[in-house]
A = this chain, B = another copy of it.
Amino acid sequence: MSQAYAARRARLRDQCAAAGGEAALVSRSANVRYLCGGGVPPGAVLLLGPVQDVLVAPLTPLWEPLPGGSYHPEDLRILVLPGEGGDPAGAAADLAAADGAESLAVEEHHLTVARHRALAAAAPRLRLVDLGRAVEQLRLVKDDEEISCLRIAAELADQALGELLESILVGRTERHLALELERRLVDHGADGPAFPTVVATGPNSGRAGHTPTDRRVEEGDFLTIGLGADYRGYRCEVGRTFVIGPSPATWQVELYDAVFAAQRAGREALVPGAACRDVDRATRQVLDSAGFGEGLGPRMGHGVGLEIDEDPRLAPSAMGKLDACVPVTVEPGVHLPGRGGVRIDDTLVVRPEADGGPELLTITTKELLAL
């Protein structure tokens, strides 16, 4: 696996060289992890230098350097700053300049103005240029190893959700159900939840990102659950809505059917080459026609990977097209104020039709279950 990281760094270096860059400094933590692997200390930055690649790490109370302070696994040197308070980015710029670089590409969408200024002061002869979202671009299309991590993460989330549905729900609070889901995720081998678990009952149901409250599950409620697992840094998402009690009301069935149809339309629009905005539109249109177009969220899905919310965005203003091997969520939701709502959310990997079309990672049923 460590060869994969070296290959990713080589790809980034080639891109930089093609753009005339001599050295690059990666500071955004998910990007550093992508290029160096897990276990990187918090706050570390990666220098792709003219002579050597160096991971520069701050000395923090949350990480203990290996004895000796630095080591060299393969071609990646690791340098731990000796004292507290130094910015590893400054030390990395220093190194780049010492190795003969005249310019350094930095992540201007991540570095703060103050850090950027300190960097310029630390190596005054370096010309700082913008690396842009080059690493995020590399991260878009996932390799087999990454997709299998996502597959496992999805399996863990499905498992935790499935077990919860077998237990008694009426009378339990949103907060307790959320905690139980997170415990089950970890029990089954997740490194943690991918994001704060959503449990939304009754009038809260269908709300995106709802923070669990002390409201208890009642007969007749819609119950919306959204959760995801983090497995080796890779994060997936699954969301379902259930109805509590023997049989759903008519409005509940109608609303559920509309969201289900919209979500299916979104999933079916996931083909390599499709414009991201068209996936959003395909999903949104179904809800519009069903009379639920008002108050829809600003987008119908997003990429997942080392972050739970990464490129691409599936939104009306999104640019770009989908490629094969890009994992995304499709997650329309409708919330009717005072009554509740429905949200259905899957993680899928875009695949060519010849390979069977989009690969559904989260396989929990999307039938409207009455629990």
Looking at A67, A179, A299, A317, which has the most chain B CB atoms within 10 Å of its CB?
A179
Once the chains bind, are B112 and A64 in contact (CB under 8 Å)?
Answer: no
Once the chains bind, are A207 and B64 in contact (CB under 8 Å)?
Answer: yes
Bound Cα distance A116, B114 (Å) = 11
Once the chains bind, are A61 and B208 in contact (CB under 8 Å)?
Answer: yes
Is A71 an interface residue, CB under 8 A from the partner? Answer: no
Classify chain A: how many residues form its interface, as a range.
Answer: 35 or more
Is A73 an interface residue, CB under 8 A from the partner? Answer: no
Q: Quick check: which of A103-111, A142-150, A265-273, A363-371 contacts chain B, the rest being far away? A: A103-111
Find A84's partner among B84, B111, B299 (CB 8 Å cutoff): B299
Bound Cα distance A59, B295 (Å) = 11
298-357 of chain A: CB within 8 A of chain B: 298-299, 313, 315-317, 335, 337
Is A20 an interface residue, CB under 8 A from the partner? Answer: no
Q: List the B side residues contacting A208 at CB < 8 Å.
A: 61-62, 64
Once the chains bind, are B317 and A85 in contact (CB under 8 Å)?
Answer: yes
Q: List the B side residues contacting A113 at CB < 8 Å.
A: 106, 108-109, 111-113, 116, 130
- The minimal Cβ–Cβ distance linking A312 to chain B, given in whole angstroms, is 13
Is A29 an interface residue, CB under 8 A from the partner? Answer: no
Q: List the B side residues contacting A299 at CB < 8 Å.
A: 61, 84
Q: List the B side residues contacting A84 at CB < 8 Å.
A: 298-299, 313, 315-317
Q: List the B side residues contacting A285 at CB < 8 Å.
A: none
For A64, the closest partner residue in chain B by CB is B207
Q: List the B side residues contacting A175 at CB < 8 Å.
A: 186
Once the chains bind, are B317 and A83 in contact (CB under 8 Å)?
Answer: yes
Is A203 an interface residue, CB under 8 A from the partner? Answer: no
Once the chains bind, are B112 and A61 in contact (CB under 8 Å)?
Answer: no
- The minimal Cβ–Cβ distance linking A143 to chain B, given in whole angstroms, is 26
Given known contacts A179-B186, A186-B179, A317-B85, A63 and B112 CB-to-CB distance under 8 angstroms: no
93-129 of chain A: CB within 8 A of chain B: 106, 108-117
- The minimal Cβ–Cβ distance linking A192 to chain B, given in whole angstroms, is 8
Q: List the B side residues contacting A207 at CB < 8 Å.
A: 64
- The minimal Cβ–Cβ distance linking A177 to chain B, given in whole angstroms, is 12
- The minimal Cβ–Cβ distance linking A252 to chain B, given in whole angstroms, is 20
Is A183 an interface residue, CB under 8 A from the partner? Answer: yes
Is A159 an interface residue, CB under 8 A from the partner? Answer: no
Bound Cα distance A113, B315 (Å) = 25
Bound Cα distance A112, B109 (Å) = 6
The chain A residues found within 8 Å of chain B, CB to CB, are 59-64, 67, 83-85, 106, 108-117, 130, 175, 179, 182-183, 186, 207-209, 295, 297-299, 313, 315-317, 335, 337
**A-B residue pairs in contact (CB < 8 Å), sample of 26:** A59-B298, A60-B209, A60-B298, A61-B208, A61-B209, A61-B298, A62-B208, A63-B209, A64-B208, A83-B298, A83-B317, A84-B298, A84-B313, A84-B315, A84-B316, A84-B317, A85-B313, A108-B114, A109-B112, A111-B112, A111-B113, A112-B112, A113-B113, A114-B130, A175-B186, A179-B186
Give the 3 A-B residue pairs with the shortest CB-CB distance, closest first.
A62-B209, A84-B298, A108-B113
